[in-house]
Amino acid sequence: MLSYSSYILTAVAALIVTCHALSKFPEISGLPDIPGKDVLKGLPHVPGLPGSLDTGCHNLLVNLEHRLFQLEAALALNGKIREVGEKVFATNGKKADFASALRSCEEAGGTLATPMNEEENKAIMDIVKQYKQYAYLGIKECETSGQFTYITGMPLSYTKWHQYEPNGKGKEKCVEMYKDGSWNDKKCNLYRLTICEF
């Protein structure tokens, strides 16, 4: 996950630096000859860039978007990511306790997977089923025993508790997902599959 996020950030930074340099130094010529640039005729002019450079920056964006699509497809093929709406759920396939899993996700630029609806819950469940391992969710018990919130502190707007759960009565502060997509409150020091959301 970290290398995928790092690649994206590096590519975006390179694009921004390139376009910024081109806009500051219009005398620079020799933009790469990118196949398919004829399809870019008639695109709106980007303010601040000479018209001849708009195409170059746009071509860079098109190539970056294509490369990101390839990387996402490869990760999806390996069962490491699922996309739902604007969210991407991803795993590194490693097991960790709650705090370590959360830290890994945050270091990669995301947070623990937190389903907000049935579609997101199913996407996370698909990863859990593929890896045949339960996973921690970005949900914790708050000060009031039996009351759970998202790790952001916001109240839950969606739940998928397993029958008779939660039942830890203040002793099980974290939440894991079973292979059927249902939730169980559990102690935070067990090792569960790390699934992040971005």
Query: Given this model, what pLDDT does residue 62 score?
Result: 80
Same domain flag for 181 and 146: yes
Q: What is the CATH number of the domain that holds 158?
A: 3.10.100.10
Same domain flag for 29 and 70: yes
Range of the domain at 190: 83-197
Same domain flag for 99 and 53: no
The two tokens of residue 56 are: 């170059």
Q: Select from 77, 105, 124 the last residue of a domain.
A: 77
Q: Using the predicted structure, report yes or no on whether residue 196 has a pLDDT greater than 70.
A: yes
pLDDT in tens, 149-175: 999 999 999 999 999 999 998 899 999
Same domain flag for 97 and 163: yes
Same domain flag for 73 and 87: no
Same domain flag for 111 and 180: yes
Q: Using the predicted structure, report yes or no on whether residue 47 has a pLDDT greater than 70.
A: no
Question: Do residues 159 and 60 make contact, with C-beta atoms less than 8 angstroms apart?
Answer: no
Cβ partners under 8 Å of residue 122, min gap 6: 181
Q: Select from 77, 100, 127 the last residue of a domain.
A: 77
d(CA 20, CA 14): 10
d(CA 101, CA 97): 6
φ/ψ region of 30 (left if φ > 0, alpha if ψ in -120 to 50, else beta) reads left
d(CA 101, CA 180): 21
What is the pairing mode between strands 81-84 and 87-96?
antiparallel
Strongest mean pLDDT among 3-12, 42-51, 176-185: 176-185
Query: Given this model, what pLDDT does residue 27 score?
Result: 46
Which amino acid is it at 58? H
Its pTM stands at 0.68
Same domain flag for 66 and 89: no
Same domain flag for 95 and 169: yes
Q: Select from 77, 102, 127 the last residue of a domain.
A: 77
Same domain flag for 98 and 186: yes
- CA terminus-to-terminus distance, the chain: 10
Same domain flag for 141 and 190: yes
Query: Given this model, what pLDDT does residue 13 score?
Result: 52
Same domain flag for 106 and 9: no
* CA dihedral sign of residues 110, 192, 130, 116: negative
Same domain flag for 97 and 186: yes
Q: How many domains does the chain have?
A: 2
* CA dihedral sign of residues 48, 9, 84, 67: positive
* CA dihedral sign of residues 147, 153, 159, 160: negative
